[in-house]
Amino acid sequence: MDLDGDGIEEFVIPQNQLEGHLAVVFRGPAGYRLQSVNSGFEGTITGLGAIPGEDTPTLIVSVVRFSNWSKSAGETQIIMTTGGE
């Protein structure tokens, strides 16, 4: 998905080593660059989708907040961002 509007597609990948972190892979003139980004979501990102838009894409994220130490129970939130004003 094109995150910054430069016409070059970036890859966004959930990083579940730390809760709420995403990896963004940028392609530039010198090759590829990986950047770890804290999304601010409090939980493990288990799903990520994008819907292309005119300006910025709409992102849909599934975040799980586990409620016990074995991570066998918890609640899921579906979060949708909208671009624009």
User: DSSP class of residue 71?
Assistant: S
- Mean pLDDT, the chain, as a whole number? 84
Extract the runs of DSSP E, i.e. beta strands, from the chain.
11-15, 21-28, 31-38, 44-51, 58-66, 74-80
16 and 41 in contact (C-beta within 8 Å)? no
pLDDT band, very low/low/confident/very high, at 20 (cuts 50, 70, 90): confident
- 71: containing domain: 11-80
5 part of a folded domain: no
75 part of a folded domain: yes
36 burial (CB, 10 Å; 0-12 / 13-18 / 19+) is: exposed
* Domains of the chain: total: 1
3 part of a folded domain: no
71 and 63 in contact (C-beta within 8 Å)? no
2 part of a folded domain: no
**0.75 exceeded by the pTM?**
no
Q: What is the mean pLDDT of residues 12-36?
A: 87
32 part of a folded domain: yes
60 part of a folded domain: yes
